A and B are shown apart, each in its own frame.
Chain A
Amino acid sequence: MAAAGEANGGTGKLESSLDVPFPSSREATIALRSLSPDKEPRKGGISKLITVSGSTLSRWSADEARILRVSVNSFLDHLSLVMETMEMFGPPVAV
């Protein structure tokens, strides 16, 4: 199980979570490692945690609905790009 998270002041009034199934935990981990390095553009009011256990789970907490919506939307755009890339250029090579 792998985890990557960042908390930058989100007090957690509003929460959202997303569970994304992947064909294998290897592919879920690839997605995690591609999606987690960049910091949230917004400096405060949002915290996001991505973990992998079998599939990829993401959890957000934010102060305002607007901030939460932007973060979740961006994540979904990024996730779909990663998944398309994996589909077109996968499967991953044998380790």
Chain B
Amino acid sequence: MTVVIGFEGSANKIGIGIIRDGEVLSNPRRTYITPPGQGFLPSDTARHHRAVILTVLKEALEQAGLKPADIDCVAYTKGPGMGAPLVTVALVARTVSQLWGKPLLGVNHCIGHIEMGRLITKANNPTVLYVSGGNTQVIAYSERRYRIFGETIDIAVGNCLDRFARVIKISNDPSPGYNIEQMAKKGSQYVELPYTVKGMDVSFSGILSYIEDAAHKMLSSGQCTAEDLCFSLQETLFSMLVEITERAMAHCGSQEVLIVGGVGCNKYAEAFKFCIDNGAMIAQAGWEMFRSGQVTELEDSWITQRYRTDEVEVTWRD
């Protein structure tokens, strides 16, 4: 029996989860939500996490009905993500790891999403579409690495959605993407936007500039509604993602797609709570890594804003 606690706080969600052999015992989380029209900045986000992290840690233990002695390993997000929030969370993870005398494990955030997706869906060897506010990658497992087959060459798809939400000043509660999705349902007119697939990769910053400009012109002249723009943006972005995912599936001969990351919540409400950043996904990846013999020494436990998915040796799969 192996019990792992996972700490996640690389963006605006702070979550701590406990997993015992594939069972999620607890997974409390808090989200830092900014007013409409504003994004979240690193220092404010870190401040938010710092204010709640110890309370969330207590909740995680209480809801799981466990004491620190019952934990076998402390996993935390090493990266990628925003620097200041990552440090805040790593500090607590390192400290409790030493207080409780438990080994520490630095986890790649993207791999956390993938391992949680594999646990929940029990998919055999899917092509993974990882889409969030910070990341957009098409990933397939091959020979001990999660290989990146395609990715964004500039901003993440979720970043494009979030920044468009700011332009039309819709609420960030519960998330800008969720509110865009609700508005898109009421859209009736398709507005043509640039379609920018580049081979195996995608680009979103051009679409963002275009739609920001279009929003100012077309909304004030009444040519279309904000709902129409939300609808058109979603259609364009998701078609592009489908194209690069299909291309990767054709290369790999794979029949299944696993969608992970916060943007995966869109239309896929079932695994909702695990798509959004959470502590249990870090615990799950940590569980796999720990059982295959990996450990992070304190001196090597520094956080990093850039951390490629294919940098990690996937020692827990053949």
* Cβ proximity bits B72-100 to A, threshold 8 Å, 1 near / 0 not: 00000000000100011011101110111
The chain A residue with its CB closest to the CB of B58 is A88
Residues of A within 8 A of B298 (CB): 33-34, 37
Q: Are A93 and B99 in contact (CB under 8 A)?
A: yes
Task: Evaluate whether A86 and B100 lie within 8 angstroms (CB atoms) in the complex, with A37-B300, A77-B50 already known.
Answer: no
Q: Are A92 and B94 in contact (CB under 8 A)?
A: no
Q: Are A41 and B83 in contact (CB under 8 A)?
A: yes
Residues of A within 8 A of B95 (CB): 30-31, 34, 82, 85-86, 89
The chain B residue with its CB closest to the CB of A30 is B98
Judged by a CB distance under 8 angstroms, whether A43 is at the interface is: no
Judged by a CB distance under 8 angstroms, whether B270 is at the interface is: no
Judged by a CB distance under 8 angstroms, whether A95 is at the interface is: yes
The chain B residue with its CB closest to the CB of A36 is B299
Q: Are A37 and B54 in contact (CB under 8 A)?
A: no
Q: Are A84 and B54 in contact (CB under 8 A)?
A: yes
Task: Evaluate whether A89 and B68 lie within 8 angstroms (CB atoms) in the complex, with A30-B99, A41-B83, A77-B50 already known.
Answer: yes
Q: Are A78 and B87 in contact (CB under 8 A)?
A: yes
Instruction: Give the tally of cross-chain contacts (CB within 8 A).
Output: 67
The chain A residue with its CB closest to the CB of B89 is A81
Judged by a CB distance under 8 angstroms, whether A23 is at the interface is: no
Residues of A within 8 A of B94 (CB): 33-34, 37
Residues of B within 8 A of A41 (CB): 83
- The size of the chain A interface, using a CB distance under 8 A, is 24
The chain B residue with its CB closest to the CB of A80 is B50
Interface residues in A58-95 (C-beta closer than 8 Å to B): 77-78, 81-82, 84-86, 88-93, 95
Task: Evaluate whether A37 and B92 lie within 8 angstroms (CB atoms) in the complex, with A89-B100, A95-B101 already known.
Answer: no
Task: Evaluate whether A93 and B302 lie within 8 angstroms (CB atoms) in the complex, with A30-B95, A38-B87 already known.
Answer: no
The chain B residue with its CB closest to the CB of A29 is B98
Judged by a CB distance under 8 angstroms, whether B140 is at the interface is: no
* Cβ proximity bits B282-318 to A, threshold 8 Å, 1 near / 0 not: 0000000000000000111111000000000000000
The chain B residue with its CB closest to the CB of A83 is B95
Complex CA gap A84/B91 in Å reads 11
Q: Shortest CB–CB separation between residue B47 and chain A, in angstroms?
A: 8
Residues of B within 8 A of A30 (CB): 95, 98-99
Q: Shortest CB–CB separation between residue B10 and chain A, in angstroms?
A: 14
Residues of B within 8 A of A37 (CB): 90, 94, 298-302
Q: Are A38 and B90 in contact (CB under 8 A)?
A: yes
Most buried by B among A33, A77, A85, A88: A85
